[in-house]
């Protein structure tokens, strides 16, 4: 009998972090892959992934709607609750042996709790990392619920061991997002513009541009409006065109979206190109060719370090995260952001690539381990 | 302005473990105590706590129904989800600064997740302990979501530090259940029988009796029916009257209840007195005076060690738990259970009391700390 | 392509009312039958139907847990909400063209709402009847959501037309419960006792007995405890043995169960045999051979009229319901109940059978109509 | 003791239909008004009503988030379920004697079900009307759950009686939206533009304009994208500036929003002014002064008839609705829409006002009736 492995993809960001694993699981003849698409991944507002899956020939087994409107801390909790309720019905139906879940969002902890209570083995990627925001607590809680861990860096691996996870179930494999980097296909030119929908300026890809992605910090909910404005103004004052990636669905995302919209409508600025979503491989080209990657996206740290892209990480969200020397940090101050971006722009092409987040074979390794592992649901801390 | 402190009590067992804290919080003039009663604590089937609270003059601020019928792993997950949904509405309304939650049940993690996402400070008792069953994973996950920790033993304290909790937010206070032990009021006689409702034999409290409490082990769900039968048969073959406490609401509890009911109806045995619930102080008398406390209740280990009551812990649920020398372990085998009980019965009166779970002032300490502490919602692992 | 027809069975009572339809749908080659078992039908406490389905060779496609513990008006509402959430996930998965739902319980309106919003054709049995309790409002609300109606009596048919349902979608077919009556298999003797589990007296089926079934009236929630006691005492004072069927899951059922349990434990009465559940065909034998069917079960009215069984309908629940001349009504008063039972006992064998609830071919007709009908989801009132 | 009357406002449209009632209830000394704001009324995307309430000095007692993202039939059902769950917690807390709910949306039926099960008296406005879309079924189902009815026209009153509602609980009061019309304050000029936020063209209010509001028809979900495009193109081809009100939150609203956005981005058309929301009194000015009100909003029929504004009702949504002679209907065909608008534009100023939806005192009457009525929760159909 084949092993049922359910993989939960609940956001665009999830997808880039797990796509290479899906491809390997699909190839494996001992495995029956069950893809569950839900959360913001099935919402048009946040870039429905249906088309991406069709293009990648990955069949979706079940869709799952549970995002509650409101973008507030209380709806984030409520969505977690509704996610658990929905997943428990779905798992009863699909009967997975293993569920694989990504990172540190409320969808992820909903999966981990449902799996743990239903005696399903929970496998988790990106455990052991340290960041700001509520993700920090959620990530470590998921670790304590998960049975199999696929950390993406040595520091994360060590942290998981320290937290009491049994060494035999922790596998240092690197980050699957690195697997998507195909060094032969990273160039960009003006034909690139056909690949996506945008609002605002049509970017000239023969010219220099900076790339921005900014996600709300949920424990600092009230400040998000102000912070987004500061970032917009800082970029606006630079003498360079800018591609701004739309934020993830999250508490605060409505506010960020609103600020961006207001800014667009009032502003005489024509330097911003706002992009809602891109296939991960296309996004990598944008990252690879930018003069500087600004904001608080973890891609700046992860893919950015492998690609040696200068980055300015703004604010507290990524603050404690392990990073390569492509990243410098700026507090949320307009002048400091401007100064740091100017420092980083000069480094373009001069940074050494880093392999701290893996060397491109994480997907293969994860599929292999899940295919062979035999493990019982009862966990026990190692000390 | 007073500090709003919400305390979540979702089962009978919770109540004994937190009652002394409630009394101290109520007395404190800087604190506005908000008691939320829910889960099995508001269900008649499992011993509604309303009367107990009335008697103890503790005002209930809000009731909360979210237990889904079924007693299966999938409904346990679903109840967690519904608990989160209900609590998010309640917290929006009560606006607590701190929520205090007890131990390691699905109600507890529902509270911790809701609090964490809503930027409310989460305080947690009984963290850092090690047990079997799904509680083991859930407890440690709660630790990673909680901001303030009140472990009840030195070993637990050390484990929390090892898991990466910042030392300044971990307080070794002992277990509040020990606070309830009033050494002057621990004797028992036949007037005791008026204190509770029971089914089966009327116990003669001038004679020796053994006490049993058995909770299902949720990760071994399918075996529970068999296991309960084995335990019933083992006790039945002993030459001593028996008080059997009804199990907690939990996945598997329906099955345990069913086996007990079937046993009662078929059996010619007239040695069992089945008791659904008792106020914690009354239960302590039962514990104090039994020849041996059998089963897998944590009270055998916790209050039992302080009272020096011989105990046999059966099966895997309490296996890895820190314990005094009043406890020995038996695997789930009829003959072994009988043998171990006979060993322990002889030790009655000869065991030295232990203070590993505190010395009776946990409630005072916890109330004091909560009253004075000032802490921000953003957590960060210590390494 | 086959037509997907989902049938929702959420209680033991539902099953008897729909079983003959299931058998006919299963036989029909144009139909893909999707049985969804949920609510109290999957709970051991209320008589899990799994075994009954296995025995009847009806395959269960999906199970659905959503009953919230508590037995109060507020949990009844909450269970409806959770039922809708669970069914919306299940319907997304099974993609039924038609859902068939029975009677007037909260499971039924959960099905009707989910179906209506999801553009699935809703078929409904037992519409147009008039009763007491909250069922009265719920039943008519379901009618206004349903597309196809299968009333079981002429009066009900007329009422549906009056309410504005288009005549072409209302089909007078009789009640499927009548289909189960096999006149050759209605005798009873002492071998019958092997067919069920019971608590209390072992009934001598060579002697006369009365049959009781009492369901709580949810809009008179506070009085249920008192009412059940009155009924127990009335029956207790009669000189005849008694079979008491356990009540349905519902707001108030916990209370009824509790009263029965207390009565059993205190009482020296040994005339009661409490039965939790019976296959519908076995239950029919009990009904057919009793001297009098007492309580407020609709079976006394429905199957009772066809079988010409004397019945006393107690209290307001069935008050306004259409009935044959086998039924008389009693208010909830001990002496009146006793008097009316004594009147009815004398009529045993002297009542003329009635076909107001059909003549035994409802299942065939319903399956035929569902197989052939072609209808659009947009409804419109007829005036 | 004051009577607790909870009023549920879950959308912008609700507010205009109930505002005059709120003001009267607030004034009444026998009533404790409990305003519950939820659904789309608390979402920025759909025009958060918080500010409007603050301005109108109406205190919000409780907020309630339960809209599930996705805009599909399945999420509409799921939101209903979550609404019931949230409201049951809120009603347990606020203990209303009466809940007043408006019209025919999923929020409305969630309120009616929760109230009915919790033995709270349900009062309902706008019952008895006939329309297209799923609202048609939902409205009549709510009628069967509600205890007190406030129809807004004589035809609706008659229909409620025909449906079996007891005559003594049905009150013909007119529509509270008419109460908001202050004939002295209906003029418009270019200072009006300061009252709202818009995207697109700055309207010149000294010139003629047409007004459009289009809501998706949920039972024709798949066609909505096409239909919105047709309507946009029809208006685009006319020689007049246009104010387009953003659609309600509903299944399909995401699609409509998307089409509008796409149209804006591609189009060289500069005649459209897209407006998200307006206070009801301001909206009335827009309605009063337009040459023609196009789309499928019920305001065109209701306020429109009182104001004698020429209107073209497009498609099936309002088709069967009672209307004055200000309205003509057009099928969803570009040329027909254009033709009908041209016909109506010529009638501006020549239509006779109608009072079929009341004469401006509905709020007073409703508050008076609710203040005095004494009614029991048990309903019974009148035939």
- Mean residue pLDDT of chain D comes to 90
pLDDT > 90 in chain A, percent: 66
Residue A275 has pLDDT above 90, yes or no: no
- How many contacts (CB atoms, under 8 Å) link A and C? 19
Instruction: Please indicate whether, in this complex, the C-beta atoms of B81 and A81 are within 8 angstroms of each other.
Output: yes
Sorting pLDDT into bands at 50, 70 and 90, what band is A360? very high
Chain A CB within 8 Å of residue C79 CB:
no
Residues 141 to 200 of C: which have CB under 8 A from any A CB?
none
**Cβ neighbours of residue B96 under 8 Å, at least 6 residues apart?**
B4, B5, B6, B34, B120
Distance (Å) of CA D127 to CA C117, D81, D138, D173: 19, 22, 10, 12
Number of Cβ within 10 Å of residue B349's Cβ equals 9
Instruction: Please indicate whether, in this complex, the C-beta atoms of A85 and C82 are within 8 angstroms of each other.
Output: yes
Sorting pLDDT into bands at 50, 70 and 90, what band is A148? very high
Q: How far apart are CA A93 and CA A114, in angstroms?
A: 13
D68 interaction partners in chain C (CB closer than 8 Å)? none
Most confident of A161-170, D6-15, D247-256: A161-170
A89 interaction partners in chain C (CB closer than 8 Å)? 64, 86, 89-90
Q: How close is the nearest chain B Cα to the Cα of D29, in Å?
A: 26
Token pair, residue C248, equals 């349905």
Helices (H), chain A: 12-27, 50-55, 73-94, 106-117, 135-145, 154-162, 176-179, 224-236, 253-266, 280-289, 298-307, 334-345, 362-372
pLDDT of residue B268: 57
pLDDT > 90 in chain D, percent: 66
Q: Do domains D3-180+360-372 and D183-345 have the same CATH topology?
A: yes
Token pair, residue C95, equals 């993609």
Sorting pLDDT into bands at 50, 70 and 90, what band is C12? confident
Label the pairing between strands C60-64 and C98-102: unpaired
**DSSP-based three-state secondary structure for A212:** strand
**Cβ neighbours of residue A184 under 8 Å, at least 6 residues apart?**
none
Q: How close is the nearest chain B Cα to the Cα of C69, in Å?
A: 5
pLDDT digits (tens, 9 = 90+) for A199-239: 888 899 999 999 999 887 665 666 788 888 899 999 999 99
User: A83: nearest CA in chain C?
Assistant: C85
Please tell me which of the candidates C85, C112, C377 has its beta carbon nearest to residue D81.
Answer: C85
Residue C219 has pLDDT above 70, yes or no: no
Measured in whole angstroms, the distance separating CA A7 from the mean position of its chain's CA atoms is 15
Chain D CB within 8 Å of residue C140 CB:
yes
Q: Read off φ and ψ for residue C274, nearest 5 degrees.
A: -95, 125
Q: How far apart are CA D373 and CA C22, in angstroms?
A: 47
Chain D CB within 8 Å of residue A72 CB:
yes
**Cβ neighbours of residue D358 under 8 Å, at least 6 residues apart?**
D152, D153, D173, D174, D175, D176, D178, D179, D306
Distance (Å) of CA A361 to CA A24, A287, B86, D70, D224: 10, 20, 43, 35, 45
Specify which residues B7 forms β-bridges with.
Answer: B35, B100
Specify which residues D6 forms β-bridges with.
Answer: D34, D99
- Mean residue pLDDT of chain A comes to 90
Instruction: Please indicate whether, in this complex, the C-beta atoms of A85 and C90 are within 8 angstroms of each other.
Output: no
Measured in whole angstroms, the distance separating CA B332 from the mean position of its chain's CA atoms is 22
Residue B310 has pLDDT above 60, yes or no: yes
Chain B CB within 8 Å of residue D359 CB:
no
A198's enclosing H/E stretch is strand A198-200
Token pair, residue B163, equals 């898991």
Q: How close is the nearest chain C Cα to the Cα of D147, in Å?
A: 10
Chain C CB within 8 Å of residue D64 CB:
no
Chain D CB within 8 Å of residue C137 CB:
yes
Chain B CB within 8 Å of residue A222 CB:
no
Q: How close is the nearest chain B Cα to the Cα of A110, in Å?
A: 8
Token pair, residue C141, equals 């609300």
For residue D223, the number of C-alpha atoms closer than 13 Å in the C-beta half-sphere is 12
Higher pLDDT, B258 or B56: B56
Residues D110-130, mean pLDDT to the nearest whole number? 97
C82 interaction partners in chain A (CB closer than 8 Å)? 85
Measured in whole angstroms, the distance separating CA B43 from the mean position of its chain's CA atoms is 17
Q: How far apart are CA A82 and CA A68, in angstroms?
A: 8
Sorting pLDDT into bands at 50, 70 and 90, what band is C343? very high
Q: Are A126 and A143 in contact (CB under 8 A)?
A: no
pLDDT of residue A4: 98
Residues B146-154, mean pLDDT to the nearest whole number? 97
Residue A36 has pLDDT above 90, yes or no: yes
pLDDT of residue D365: 98
Chain C CB within 8 Å of residue A117 CB:
no
**DSSP-based three-state secondary structure for A57:** coil
**DSSP-based three-state secondary structure for C220:** helix
B62 interaction partners in chain D (CB closer than 8 Å)? 93
Instruction: Please indicate whether, in this complex, the C-beta atoms of D69 and A265 are within 8 angstroms of each other.
Output: no
Higher pLDDT, C196 or C355: C355
Instruction: Please indicate whether, in this complex, the C-beta atoms of D93 and B93 are within 8 angstroms of each other.
Output: yes
Number of Cβ within 10 Å of residue C196's Cβ equals 16
Chain B CB within 8 Å of residue A263 CB:
no
Token pair, residue B65, equals 């129904």
Specify which residues A38 forms β-bridges with.
Answer: A64
**DSSP-based three-state secondary structure for D228:** helix
Q: Are C274 and C326 in contact (CB under 8 A)?
A: no
B203's enclosing H/E stretch is none
C63 interaction partners in chain A (CB closer than 8 Å)? 92
Higher pLDDT, D91 or D249: D91
B85 interaction partners in chain D (CB closer than 8 Å)? 82, 85-86
C71 interaction partners in chain B (CB closer than 8 Å)? 44
- Helix C73-94 to helix B73-94 angle, to the nearest 10 degrees? 120
Distance (Å) of CA C372 to CA A219, C369, C375, C379, D220: 58, 5, 10, 19, 23
pLDDT of residue B254: 65
Chain A CB within 8 Å of residue B74 CB:
yes
**Cβ neighbours of residue C86 under 8 Å, at least 6 residues apart?**
A85, A89, C38, C64, C65, C66
> Chains touching chain D at 3 or more Cβ pairs under 8 angstroms?
A, B, C
The string of DSSP letters for A156-194 reads HHHHHHHTT--GGGB-----HHHHT--GGG----GGGGG
Q: How far apart are CA B327 and CA B341, in angstroms?
A: 11
Instruction: Please indicate whether, in this complex, the C-beta atoms of B199 and C42 are within 8 angstroms of each other.
Output: no
Instruction: Please indicate whether, in this complex, the C-beta atoms of D93 and B64 are within 8 angstroms of each other.
Output: no
pLDDT > 70 in chain C, percent: 94
Sorting pLDDT into bands at 50, 70 and 90, what band is A254? low
pLDDT of residue B87: 95
3.40.50.11540, 2.30.40.10, 2.40.30.10, 3.40.50.2000: which CATH number matches A3-180+360-372? 3.40.50.2000
Q: How are strands ordered across the β-sheet holding C31-38?
A: C60-64, C31-38, C3-9, C98-102, C121-125, C148-150
Residue B200 has pLDDT above 90, yes or no: no
B63 interaction partners in chain D (CB closer than 8 Å)? 92
pLDDT of residue C235: 94
pLDDT of residue B195: 77
- Say if residue C375 is exposed, middle or buried (CB neighbours under 10 Å; 0-12, 13-18, 19+): middle
Q: How are strands ordered across the β-sheet holding D121-125?
A: D60-64, D31-38, D3-9, D98-102, D121-125, D148-150
pLDDT of residue C264: 72
pLDDT > 70 in chain A, percent: 94
Which of B91-95, C28-32, D286-290 is predicted with the least confidence, judged by mean pLDDT? B91-95
Which of A75-84, B215-224, C307-316, D90-99 is predicted with the least confidence, judged by mean pLDDT? B215-224
Q: How far apart are CA A196 and CA A275, in angstroms?
A: 7
Instruction: Please indicate whether, in this complex, the C-beta atoms of C140 and D144 are within 8 angstroms of each other.
Output: yes
Q: Are C303 and C287 in contact (CB under 8 A)?
A: yes
Residue B250 has pLDDT above 60, yes or no: no
Residue A265 has pLDDT above 70, yes or no: no
**Angle at the Cα of C353 from the Cα atoms of C351 and C354, rounded to 5 degrees:** 125
pLDDT digits (tens, 9 = 90+) for D154-199: 999 999 999 999 999 999 999 999 999 988 889 999 988 887 888 8
Number of Cβ within 10 Å of residue A206's Cβ equals 8
Q: Read off φ and ψ for residue B274, nearest 5 degrees.
A: -95, 125
pLDDT of residue D219: 59
Token pair, residue B373, equals 């502490």
- Say if residue D54 is exposed, middle or buried (CB neighbours under 10 Å; 0-12, 13-18, 19+): exposed
Q: How close is the nearest chain C Cα to the Cα of D186, in Å?
A: 36
Q: Which runs of E-coded beta strand occur in chain C?
A: 3-9, 31-38, 60-64, 98-102, 121-125, 148-150, 198-200, 209-213, 241-245, 272-275, 292-295, 311-314, 327-330
Residue D46 has pLDDT above 70, yes or no: no
Residue D38 has pLDDT above 80, yes or no: yes
Q: How far apart are CA D110 and CA D67, in angstroms?
A: 12
Q: How far apart are CA A348 and CA A129, in angstroms?
A: 27
pLDDT of residue A251: 52
2.40.110.10, 3.65.10.10, 3.40.50.2000, 3.30.360.10: which CATH number matches D183-345? 3.40.50.2000
Domain ranges of chain A: 3-180+360-372, 183-345
A81 interaction partners in chain C (CB closer than 8 Å)? none
Q: How far apart are CA B242 and CA B273, in angstroms?
A: 6
Sorting pLDDT into bands at 50, 70 and 90, what band is C171? very high
Residue D106 has pLDDT above 70, yes or no: yes
Reported ipTM: the value is: 0.89
Q: Are D348 and D240 in contact (CB under 8 A)?
A: no
Model confidence, pTM: 0.87
Check the CA dihedral A316-A322-A325-A326 and report its sign.
Answer: negative
Chain B CB within 8 Å of residue A69 CB:
no
- Say if residue D240 is exposed, middle or buried (CB neighbours under 10 Å; 0-12, 13-18, 19+): middle
Distance (Å) of CA A116 to CA A100, A381, B68: 12, 15, 17
Please tell me which of the candidates A65, A74, A258 has its beta carbon nearest to residue D70.
Answer: A65
Higher pLDDT, B216 or B106: B106
Q: Are B362 and B21 in contact (CB under 8 A)?
A: yes
Give me the torsion for CA of A150, A155, A156, A158, rounded to 10°: 80
């Amino acid at each position: 009998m084949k092993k049922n492995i359910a993989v939960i993809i609940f956001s665009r960001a999830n997808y880039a972090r797990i796509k290479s694993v899906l491809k390997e699981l699909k190839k494996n003849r001992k495995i029956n892959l069950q893809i569950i698409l839900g959360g913001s991944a099935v919402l048009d507002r946040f870039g429905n992934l249906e088309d991406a899956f069709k293009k990648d020939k990955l069949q979706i087994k079940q869709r799952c709607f549970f995002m509650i409107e409101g973008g507030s801390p209380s709806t984030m909790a409520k969505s977690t609750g509704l996610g658990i309720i929905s997943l428990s019905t779905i798992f009863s139906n699909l009967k997975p042996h293993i569920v694989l879940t990504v990172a540190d969002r409320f969808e992820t902890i909903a999966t981990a709790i449902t799996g743990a209570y239903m005696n399903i083995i929970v496998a988790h990627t990106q455990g052991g990392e340290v960041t700001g925001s509520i993700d920090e607590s959620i990530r470590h809680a998921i670790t304590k619920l998960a049975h199999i861990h696929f950390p993406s860096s040595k520091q994360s691996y060590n942290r998981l061991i320290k937290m009491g996870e049994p060494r035999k179930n922790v596998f240092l494999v690197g980050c699957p997002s690195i697997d998507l980097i195909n060094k032969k296909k990273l160039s960009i030119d003006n034909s690139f513009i056909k690949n996506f929908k945008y609002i605002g300026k049509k970017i000239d890809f023969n010219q220099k541009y900076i790339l921005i992605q900014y996600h709300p910090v949920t424990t600092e909910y009230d400040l998000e409006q102000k912070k987004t404005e500061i970032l917009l103004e800082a970029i606006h004052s630079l003498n360079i065109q800018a591609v701004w990636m739309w934020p993830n669905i999250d508490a605060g995302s409505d506010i960020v979206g609103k600020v961006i919209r207001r800014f667009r409508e009032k502003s005489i600025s024509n330097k911003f190109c706002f992009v809602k979503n891109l296939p991960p491989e296309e996004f990598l080209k944008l990252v690879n060719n930018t003069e500087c990657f600004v904001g608080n996206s973890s891609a700046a740290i992860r893919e950015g370090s492998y690609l040696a892209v200068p980055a300015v990480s703004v604010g507290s969200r990524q603050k404690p995260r392990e990073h390569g020397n492509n990243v410098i940090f700026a507090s949320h101050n307009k002048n400091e952001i401007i100064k740091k971006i100017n420092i980083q722009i000069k480094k373009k092409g001069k940074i050494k690539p880093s392999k701290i987040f893996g060397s491109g074979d994480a997907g293969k390794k994860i599929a292999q381990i899940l295919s062979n592992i035999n493990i019982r649901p009862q966990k026990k801390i190692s000390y």
